[in-house]
Amino acid sequence: MAKMNKVRMGMVGGGEGAFIGAVHRHALALDGQIELVCGAFSRDNQNNQRTGDSLGLDDNRVYSSWETLLTAELALPEDERMQALIIVTPNHLHVPISIAAIEAGFHVFCEKPAAISLDEAQVLKSKLKQSDVLYGLAHTYLGYPMVWQAQHMVTSGLLGNIRKVYVEYPQGWLSANEESHNKQASWRTDPAQSGGSGAMGDIGTHAFGLVEFVLQQQVTSLCADLQTHVDGRRLDDDGAALIRTDGGASGVLIASQVCAGEENALKIRVYGDKGAIEWQQMEPNSIIHRPLGEPYRVFRAGMGQPGLCEDASARCRTPAGHPEGYLEAMANLYGYFAKAINAAKAAELTISELGKAPGVPGIDSGLRGMAFIDAMLTSSDSETKWHSVPNTK
C-alpha cells in the first residue's frame, strides 16, 4: 500500500461571517486526506488575515485577492503549491475564478451554482474540455450514502417502472426581510451577485439535481409558479412546478425559503409500479422502502448494514446508530475528489484521460442546474403550460 499523500487545496471566499466556507473546511478535513494550504478569504483585509490566522495558515499564503493567490501559488515548487482551488464566493464570481484557475492548471471544487446563467456554464464547460483540470461541484446532498442507496433502488429495478416523483425543499429562513438577517440573505437575494433566481438557484437546483440523480432520468418539461413574498425582495423566494421526465415519470417540485419554521427539509419520494422509496435530508441515515403489498421497511446507513449497496456503504464511516450528517456528506464529495486527483497523479494520466472524478458532481450537473433555473423563470412568466428544460448533453 502506497503512502497516502494529502492533497493541497486553497480557498477563495469563506472569511468570517460566511456560512459555507467553514462547512467546506470541516468537510475537507474530516478524513485527513486533504490539507488547506492557502486562501484569499475576504476582500476585507482584516477579515482575510483573521481567517488565515484562525486556520493556522502561513502568513505568506493568505492572499489579498484570488488573482494574487493564483499567481503566487503557481510560482511555488510543484510539490508545495496547492493542487486544487475551492471557490466559495458569491455566485457571480464562480465562473470567472473557475476559468482563471483552470487556465493556471489548478483543479477546481466549486460551491454551487456552477454559474449564474446557462450560457456562462457552457463557456465553463468548453474551457474544461480543453483542459486537464478536474472540476467538482458541491451538490452536497449527492454525497449522502442513502442518496446513492436511493439511486440504486431505483436503477436496479426494485421499484419497477417509475411513475411519480415528489421532491420538496422547504426552508423558512427568508420568511422575514433581509434587514433582519445576515449578509447571507443579502447577497443571495441580490440579482447581481446571485444570478437571475433566488430560491430556485439556491435550493431549487438541489431539489432538481436530486431528482435527476436518483432517477437517472432528465426532467424534460415543467410548469412553474414562482413568487416573491417579502416586500422589496428582488428575486423569487418561493416556487413550485409540475414536472415530467424523459423516463415517463411525472411529479412535483417544491422549493421555498418562506416556509416559516422549516429548517432544511429536503425530501424526495419516488413511486414505481412495484414499490416506493422516501428519503429526507434531516434524517439522512434512513430510507423507507415500500414494496407493493408488503409491510414497509427501513434501510439504515452504517458500515456493513444489511441491504446497502456498495456505493452507499462506501460513504459510511460508522456503524448504524452513530448518526452521520451534512458535513460527512460533503466530506464524501471531497474524499472522491481528492482520490481522483491522487489517482491522476499516480498514474501520470491527464484528467481528460482519467475522466471525471467518480462520485463527484461536475460541470454537467452545473449545466443541468442552470437549465432548470432558466426553464423555471421562463415558465413562471408564461401563459403557456409546459416549458421544456433544455437538453444540456
Residues 97-126 within binding reach of a second copy (CB under 8 A):
none
- List the one residue from 195, 204, 302, 359 that touches a second copy (CB under 8 A): 302
Binding-site member from 284, 359, 361, 366 for a second copy (CB under 8 A): 284
Report 198-227 residues binding a second copy (CB under 8 A): 223, 225, 227
Q: Is 252 in the site for a second copy (CB under 8 A)?
A: yes
Sign of the torsion angle spanned by Cα atoms 50, 136, 30, 210:
positive
The three-state secondary structure class of 192 is: helix
Chain centroid, CA 221 distance in Å: 22
Nearest-approach distance from CB 191 to a second copy, in angstroms: 22
Grouping H, G, I as helix, E, B as strand and the rest as coil, residue 157 is coil
Considering only the stretches 80-88, 196-204, 288-296, 357-365, report the one whose residues sit in contact with a second copy under the rule CB under 8 A: 288-296
Provide the H-helix boundaries in 81-144.
94-103, 118-129
Q: What are phi and psi of 62, to 5 degrees?
A: -105, 105
Choose between 50 and 127: whose C-beta lies nearer to a second copy: 50
Q: Which is nearer to a second copy, 108 or 249 (CB)?
A: 249
> Of residues 68, 126, 186, 292, which one binds a second copy by CB under 8 A?
292
Q: In whole angstroms, how close is the CB of 238 to a second copy at the nearest point? A: 7
Nearest residue (CB) to a second copy, 9 versus 114: 9
- Residue 177: φ, ψ to 5°: -80, 170
Considering the rule CB under 8 A, would residue 32 count as an interface residue with a second copy?
yes
Query: What 8-state DSSP symbol labels residue 227?
Result: E
Q: Which residues, numbered 36-55, are part of the site for a second copy (CB under 8 A)? A: 36, 50, 53-55
Return all residues near 328 (Cβ < 8 A) that are at least 6 apart.
Answer: 27, 30, 143, 315, 317
Q: Is 229 in the site for a second copy (CB under 8 A)?
A: yes
Site for a second copy in 320-359 (CB under 8 A): 320-328
Using the minimum distance from each CB to a second copy, give the nearer residue, 89 or 305.
305
3-state secondary structure labels for all residues of 188-252: HCCHHHHCCCCHHHHHHHHHHHHHHHHHCCCEEEEEEEEECCCCCCCCCCEEEEEEEECCCCEEE
Contacts of a second copy in 132-171 (CB under 8 A)? 159, 163-164, 166, 168, 170-171
Task: Among 14, 15, 272, 335, indicate the residue that binds a second copy (CB under 8 A).
Answer: 272
Compute φ and ψ for 58, nearest 5 degrees. Answer: -60, 140
Return d(Cα 313, Cα 336) in angstroms, integer: 14
Which residue type is seen at 336? Y
Distance CA 233, CA 191 (A): 10
Question: Where does residue 176 fall: left (phi above 0), alpha (psi -120 to 50 degrees), or beta otherwise?
Answer: beta
Query: Footprint of a second copy on residues 56-75 (CB under 8 A)?
Result: 56, 59
Nearer to a second copy, 105 or 325 (CB): 325
Is residue 10 close enough to count as binding a second copy by CB under 8 A?
Answer: no
> Could you give the CA distance from residue 75 to residue 134 in angstroms, rounded to a whole number?
20
Residue type, 80: E
Q: Among positive and negative, which fits the CA dihedral 177, 178, 182, 184? A: positive
Residue 241 C-beta: closest distance to a second copy, Å: 8
Of the candidate spans 64-72, 130-138, 287-295, 346-354, the one that interacts with a second copy by CB under 8 A turns out to be 287-295
- Contacting a second copy (CB under 8 A), which of 104, 123, 254, 314? 254
In angstroms, the Cα distances linking 56 to 10, 38, 51, 369 are 13, 10, 9, 36
Indicate which single residue of 43, 183, 234, 297 sits in contact with a second copy (rule: CB under 8 A).
297
CB of 299 to a second copy, least distance (A): 5
User: Per CB under 8 A, does 84 bind a second copy?
Assistant: no
- Residue 118 beta carbon to a second copy: minimum distance, rounded to whole angstroms: 23
Q: Does 22 bind a second copy (CB under 8 A)?
A: yes
Alpha-carbon Rg for the chain in angstroms = 21
